[in-house]
Structure 1
Amino acid sequence: MRTALVTAAEARALLAGREVYGVLEITPGQAVVRLDPAVNPSGTQVAQQVLTGVAQGAGLPVRVEAPAVSCGSAGWSPACCSCCSGAPGSGSCPR
Structure 2
Amino acid sequence: VQTPGETVQVFVNNKLAYQYDLNQNKTFLISTATGFMKIRIENGKARVKESSCPAKLCIKMGKIAKQNQYIVCVPNRVFIRIQGEEKTDWIDAVTK
TM range (shorter): under 0.3
Higher strand share: 2
Give the TM-score normalised by structure 1.
Answer: 0.28
Considering only CA atoms, is the larger Rg found in Structure 1 or Structure 2? 2
Give the TM-score normalised by structure 2.
Answer: 0.28
